[in-house]
């Protein structure tokens, strides 16, 4: 399958990006984790572009998402877009990507940069960031303790899914994940917590049972002080005023 994907990516370069310096073929399909609806993820690097862009298209039956950059825009996205979120999307794609048409000095430099970023970890959460997360999670947990309806329970649970995973990872100075990539990321970091996370959310979404999830979250927050509501204060920047 990998040879087939490389052949497809090579055709894409020849047909759509003949002047690109390198293409990194990445995503679930090259890891052997693709499904019937998986797309090809490409990071396309030119020597210079007016601006980075992203485009989606079909190619020989494959859905393709292409993230098109030059070295400067790629560095900007690494450091200014992805890194602050704690989710290293582009860095991971470049790090794991297969170089098309072949490795080069530029591709090796970009891979080394991506590897260094991943090794360094995300920006460290300070106490304010941890407290903001604790407060938001506490509010959502209160919403599932006594929901007005099953619909509201599911809505609050959906918000908690990302929030709890993000807190667990970022509070440990680890790269985070979002959506469908969360289970795999948690499994990489802590199989025990990943199992607790999956089981507790399954109980909530399938049966409306919240006790297990509340217990998992309470244990997670305990090292930072537990639930946070009483006395929490968040001051807006002094510049946040609009003259009358």
Question: Total domain count for the chain?
Answer: 2
Q: pLDDT band for 127, please (50, 70, 90 cuts).
A: very high
- How far does Cα 43 stand from its chain's mean position? 16
For residue 233, being part of any structural domain is answered with no
Judgement on whether residues 7 and 111 belong to the same structural domain of the protein: yes
For residue 240, being part of any structural domain is answered with no
- Over residues 183-196, the mean pLDDT reads 97
For residue 232, being part of any structural domain is answered with no
Judgement on whether residues 201 and 142 belong to the same structural domain of the protein: yes
Average pLDDT, the chain: 95
For residue 229, being part of any structural domain is answered with no
Cα distance between residue 212 and residue 164, in whole Å: 14
Phi and psi at 221, nearest 5°, equal: -80, -15
For residue 211, being part of any structural domain is answered with yes
Judgement on whether residues 98 and 165 belong to the same structural domain of the protein: no
Q: What angle do CA 30, 34, 40 make, to 5 degrees?
A: 60
CATH code: domain of residue 2: 3.30.460.10
For residue 191, being part of any structural domain is answered with yes
The whole-number pLDDT of residue 129 equals 97
Nearest to 27 by CA among 68, 63, 75: 63
Judgement on whether residues 65 and 99 belong to the same structural domain of the protein: yes
The conformation of residue 238, written as its DSSP 8-state character, comes to T
Global pTM exceeds 0.85: yes
pLDDT in tens, 58-96: 999 899 999 999 999 999 999 999 999 999 999 999 999
Range of the domain at 42: 1-120
């Amino acid at each position: 399958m990998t040879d087939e994907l490389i052949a497809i990516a090579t055709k894409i370069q020849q047909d759509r990006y003949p002047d690109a310096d390198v293409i990194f073929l990445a995503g679930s399909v090259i890891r052997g984790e693709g499904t019937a609806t998986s797309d090809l993820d490409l990071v396309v690097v030119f020597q210079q572009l007016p601006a980075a862009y992203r485009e989606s298209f079909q190619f020989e039956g494959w859905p393709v998402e292409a993230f098109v950059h030059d070295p400067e825009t790629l560095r900007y996205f690494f450091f200014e877009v992805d890194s602050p979120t704690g989710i290293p999307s582009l860095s991971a794609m470049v790090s794991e990507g297969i170089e098309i048409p072949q490795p080069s000095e530029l591709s090796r430099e970009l891979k080394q940069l991506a590897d260094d970023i991943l090794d360094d970890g995300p920006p460290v959460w300070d106490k304010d960031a941890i407290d903001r997360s604790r407060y938001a999670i506490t509010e959502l947990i209160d919403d599932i303790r006594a929901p007005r309806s099953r619909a509201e329970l599911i809505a609050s649970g959906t918000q908690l899914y990302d929030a709890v995973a993000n807190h667990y990872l970022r509070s440990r100075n680890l790269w985070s994940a979002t959506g469908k990539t969360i289970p795999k990321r948690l499994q990489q970091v802590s199989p025990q917590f990943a199992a607790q996370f999956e089981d507790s959310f399954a109980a909530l979404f399938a049966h409306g049972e919240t006790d297990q999830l509340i217990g998992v979250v309470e244990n997670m927050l305990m090292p930072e002080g537990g639930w946070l509501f009483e006395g929490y204060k968040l001051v807006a920047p002094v510049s946040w005023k609009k003259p009358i």
